[in-house]
Amino acid sequence: RLDPDLGAISPAVVHVSCGSIDHGFIDPARKLAVLTETDLSGQKAAGKEGARMPVRRRKSIDPLTLETGDYIVH
């Protein structure tokens, strides 16, 4: 079912939402395509299913938290 918060779906507009489906689908009648992370990247998202991130990635810093003046080592 469609998320009621989306309202009317407009052509050429991308809506991003969180959910739990394994594969995307296309509904030609509604002119709607739903894509999952697996469809886009070819890899299943890490989640509560037991897939763990490597330690190196778990300890990485979220780039969105960086501020002007923060030191970056690469």
Top pLDDT among 14 and 52 is at: 14
Give yes or no for a contact between 19 and 1, defined as CB atoms under 8 angstroms apart: no
Domain chopping of the chain, boundaries: 1-44
Instruction: State the pLDDT at residue 25.
Output: 92
- Percent of the chain as helix, strand, coil, to the nearest 5: 20, 10, 70
Distances (CA, A) of 35 to 7, 28, 65: 19, 14, 28
What digits encode the pLDDT tens for the residues 20-58? 888 889 999 988 888 888 888 877 666 555 556 565 665
Structure tokens at 38: 């697996």
Cβ neighbour number for residue 56 with a 10 Å cutoff: 7
In this prediction, residues 7-12 reach a mean pLDDT of 72
